Amino acid sequence: MLPVALLLAVGCGQKPPEAVQAVEKPAAKAEEKGPSTEVVLDAAAMAASRVTVEAVTRRSLPETVRATGRIALNENRTWRVGAMTDGRAVQVLVNVGDIVKQGQVLARLHSHEVHEGRASYQKARSELARWKALESHSRRTRDRLKKLIELKAAAVEQLDHAENELRGAEEGIKQA
């Protein structure tokens, strides 16, 4: 405190008043290492230096801090999602920062790849159904021709032809 009072007095171009006394006192706490210095002013010195004494009170001081910064999401609570196919988002059902649940639809995409894939799948299903129908027909024809051959009412060549058709239909089913 003494250096501050002396700096204030010297800074104003004045000599320190003779009423300022530096008093050495032993440290009040054991943690402090050296003796503390206390400055004592008489009333005339306090009036001359315009020092006022007030009781200690708690008050809040308005504080404005201006700083540049960046607002960002908490990366520990954020998950990046993406689409497994190319396409155009036709409907977005959630916004950034929304809380979502597992399995919740986030957006709807229109993808030519998916559309073509579904069309190919439907075509393959109908092709499989066609091969199964052909296999069933070929099996019935072969069985009928076996009975006719036992009765000597059909040629063995017809039976061979029916069995070839049945094998072709079974291969078609495997491919489909």
Write out pLDDT tens, residues 107-146: 998 998 888 999 999 999 999 999 999 999 999 999 999 9
Indicate whether 96 belongs to any domain: no
Instruction: Please report whether residue 128 resides in a domain.
Output: yes
Task: Please tell me the predicted confidence (pLDDT) of residue 74.
Answer: 81
Residue 150 within a domain = yes
pLDDT exceeds 50 at position 7: no
Residue 148 located in a structural domain: yes
Residue 74 belongs to some domain of the structure: no
Residue 79 reports pLDDT greater than 70? yes
> Residue 24 pLDDT > 80, yes or no?
no
Q: Is the pLDDT of residue 23 over 60?
A: no
Q: Of 26, 48, 70, at which residue does a domain stop?
A: 48
Q: Retrieve residue 87's tokens.
A: 């396409």
Q: Specify which residues 149 forms β-bridges with.
A: none
CB 100 within 8 A of CB 106: yes
Tell me: pLDDT of 11 over 50.
no
Q: Is the pLDDT of residue 49 over 80?
A: yes
Residue 6 has pLDDT above 60, yes or no: no
154 in a structural domain = yes
The CATH number covering residue 159 comes to: 1.10.287
- Residue 89 inside a domain? The answer is no
Q: Output the pTM of the full model.
A: 0.43
Q: Which residue has the higher pLDDT, 20 or 170?
A: 170
| Cα 100 from Cα 92, distance rounded (Å) | 13
Tokens of 114: 């998916």
Give the structural domain span for 165: 113-175
Q: What's the one-letter identity of residue 113?
A: E
Q: How confident is the model at residue 10 (pLDDT cuts 50, 70, 90)?
A: very low
Nearest to 163 by CA among 91, 144, 174, 152: 144
Residue 27 resides in a domain: yes
Total number of domains in the chain: 2
pLDDT score, position 32: 56
